[in-house]
Amino acid sequence: MKIPILLFFAFALLPISAQVNIELAIHQAEQFDINLGNDTSLCANETLLLDASDNSLTYLWNTDETTQSISINSSGTYFVYALDNNYCSDSDTISVIFNQLPEIILCDDTTLCNGEILTIDAGTGFISYEWNNGTTEQTMDVDSAGQYYVIVENESGCYNTDTVHVSYTVCTGINDLFITRIKIIPNPNDGKFKIDFGQSMQYSLTLSVYNNFGSLVFKDDFSNHPIELNLEDLPKGVYYINFLSKDIMITKKIIIE
């Protein structure tokens, strides 16, 4: 703490005992210290409590808050100015980064014919996978009904999860087989993907793609299996693929990202 020049001369004219008392008071005042900690990083679903910690009279943060502590959940530089009981001031600054959570989207809830096996793919780009059955690989094979979820971790050490419900039914006709065997690979995708029907196509079909507003953005007829589509020109978002073949009409959701 700096002493103004006029106060310095006034101080010099005081008795020694008074000078000692003032020096002691100044020394105690200099112990006042605000410490917000080191710069740090967290995950987007977390919050951080910043605490000025000292028992000061007045606080002013660059967020315009005037409390001793504040909770934050967005990246930025945070500053606090504090005034203690001796009217001495101190300040501190901390930079905080909130890292994005990994984006994980499993396939849609699925119904299979009894005896079929579904491979659920969590996608690439994660440093760890943990499924609810203990599997730690990118994919997991399912042969029974239930809810299956995976927890993934990205390079920032942040986690996210997604769940898919799988059910089984007794398939008695072509409609059942057609519905359960359609696979869109990958999904989500960048606009390029493959549609696999799991069996030879007995009839040609009309494939129509609609955006989230119900507008038709693509339509064509196909007779070969599998179907490979390139919709990279479409904006990112959610789309619905309508399959129409004879008396069969099915809709599947895709995500372009």
Count the helices and strands in the chain (H runs, E runs).
Answer: 3, 19
Instruction: Tell me whether domains 32-97 and 183-257 share a fold.
Output: yes
What pLDDT shows up at residue 203?
64
CATH number of the domain located at residue range(s) 183-257 in this protein: 2.60.40.1930
Average pLDDT over residues 204-218: 87
Q: Just give the CATH number of 100-170.
A: 2.60.40.10
Q: In this prediction, what percent of the chain has a pLDDT beyond 70?
A: 78
Task: State in Å, rounded, how far the first CA of the chain is from the last one.
Answer: 56
| Pairing of β 146-153 and β 128-131 | antiparallel
Structure tokens of 74? 């967005």
Domain ranges of the chain: 32-97, 100-170, 183-257
Tens-digit pLDDT profile for residues 46-88: 999 999 876 767 899 999 999 999 999 999 999 999 988 778 8
pTM of the model: 0.56
Backbone angles phi, psi at 252, to 5 degrees: -125, 145
Residue 8 has pLDDT above 90, yes or no: no
Determine the average pLDDT of the residues in 143-157. Answer: 94
Instruction: Given CATH 2.60.40, say whether it is the number of domain 32-97.
Output: yes
pLDDT value, residue 96: 97
Mean pLDDT of the chain: 81
Residue 222 is encoded by which pair of tokens?
């196909």
**How many whole angstroms separate alpha carbon 162 and alpha carbon 185?**
18
User: Cα-Cα-Cα-Cα dihedral of 135, 140, 143, 148, to 10°?
Assistant: 80
- Residue-wise pLDDT for 231-247, tens only, equals 999 999 888 888 877 65
Q: Could you give the CA distance from residue 172 to residue 68 in angstroms, rounded to a whole number?
A: 68
